[in-house]
Amino acid sequence: MGVDTLFSLEGKTAIITGAGRGIGRAIAVLFAQAGAHVVCAARTESDLEHTVDLCGEAGGRALALPCDVSEEAQLEKLLAGAVEHFGSPAIVVNNAGGAWPNDPLTTRTDTLVKDFAFNVGSAFALSRLAHPHLCEQQGCIINITSASARYAQAGFSSYGTAKAALTQLTRLLAADFAPNVRVNGISPGTIMTSALEPFLDDNARQRMTELTPMKRLGQPADIAAAALFLASPAAAWITGKIIEVDGGAESTTWPF
């Protein structure tokens, strides 16, 4: 198998949640460039339309389907729309997620539960709903977790716990779904996205860079490249694994 074939997604349908900006957008555009038919899901339609335009510029076909991943009925509609327009998905990227830093002494339990549902429950639901289609395609699931899942750092008890659960869910679903569906995850370190940038001034950015062995902060393209590998034939014998894309950081780079 040639290198072009090893990393090709030609003709495959991919659903990507959180595709309106940042990491999700970068994955969508790279998948489109690799030949996939990309279904872009997020809550903000204008963001999705911009992603679809970028996918078109990359030479691929893409569809914007607004979706709140916290609502299972909307996930069902998302899946039905993908099948109607492009056929059964071969790839699902559970990228939607996130939570604010928190103080555990002032965080209500229902906030923790909500963060868990957003980051873990939505990925579980879409993976379950898509499973029959993924089996048909001998496809794969990629969960975007976080380095916060393994770092011991103040202020992340809610987000870090949710992402740790998503990391373990990835391993467990891989065991459940093998050998027909591969399930892997990517654990990003500090990635410069529009969600992170407002928190950082020049001093904070410099401190985070100094704490990163590779001496730069990550870009969405770094995560997209790992996702392309996991989705491609090159990763056909990989399941239940988490790729850590974090510039080599083995502890928190959070500067506050």
Tens digits of per-residue pLDDT, 155-200? 999 999 999 999 999 999 999 999 999 999 999 999 998 878 887 8
Looking at residues 222-233, what average pLDDT do you find? 98
Is residue 159 among the annotated active site residues?
yes
What share of the chain has pLDDT > 70, as a percent? Answer: 100
DSSP conformational letter for 159? H
Q: What is the pLDDT of residue 198?
A: 80
pLDDT tens, residue by residue, 200-227: 899 999 999 999 999 999 999 999 999 9
Instruction: Judge whether 218 and 190 are in contact, CB under 8 Å.
Output: yes
Q: What is the pLDDT of residue 199?
A: 79
Check 116, 159, 177, 254 and give the catalytic one.
Answer: 159
Look at residue 256 and tell me whether its pLDDT is greater than 90: no
Quickly name the fold that domain 3-242 has.
Answer: Rossmann fold (3.40.50)
CA 8 to mean position of chain CA atoms: 19
Separation of alpha carbons 179 and 248, rounded Å: 31
pLDDT band at 151 (very low <50, low <70, confident <90, very high): very high
Q: What is the pLDDT of residue 209?
A: 96
Q: What is the pLDDT of residue 58?
A: 96
Q: What is the pLDDT of residue 80?
A: 98
Separation of alpha carbons 151 and 101, rounded Å: 14
Q: What is the pLDDT of residue 195?
A: 78
Instruction: Judge whether 232 and 6 are in contact, CB under 8 Å.
Output: yes
Q: What is the pLDDT of residue 197?
A: 82
Q: What is the pLDDT of residue 50?
A: 98
Contacts for 245 with CB less than 8 Å, ≥ 6 apart: 186, 187, 188, 189, 218, 222, 223, 226
Q: What is the pLDDT of residue 196?
A: 83
Q: What is the DSSP string of 161-195?
A: HHHHHHHHHHHHHHHHHTTTSEEEEEEE-SB--TT
> Which residue is associated with the tokens 């940038």?
197
Q: What is the pLDDT of residue 255?
A: 86
Q: What is the pLDDT of residue 64?
A: 98
pLDDT band at 2 (very low <50, low <70, confident <90, very high): confident
pLDDT tens, residue by residue, 12-21: 999 999 999 9
Q: What is the pLDDT of residue 39?
A: 98
The angle subtended at Cα 36 by Cα 85 and Cα 168, nearest 5°, is 100
Contacts for 4 with CB less than 8 Å, ≥ 6 apart: none
Separation of alpha carbons 135 and 93, rounded Å: 15
Domain positions in the chain:
3-242
Q: What is the pTM of this model?
A: 0.96
CA 243 to mean position of chain CA atoms: 12
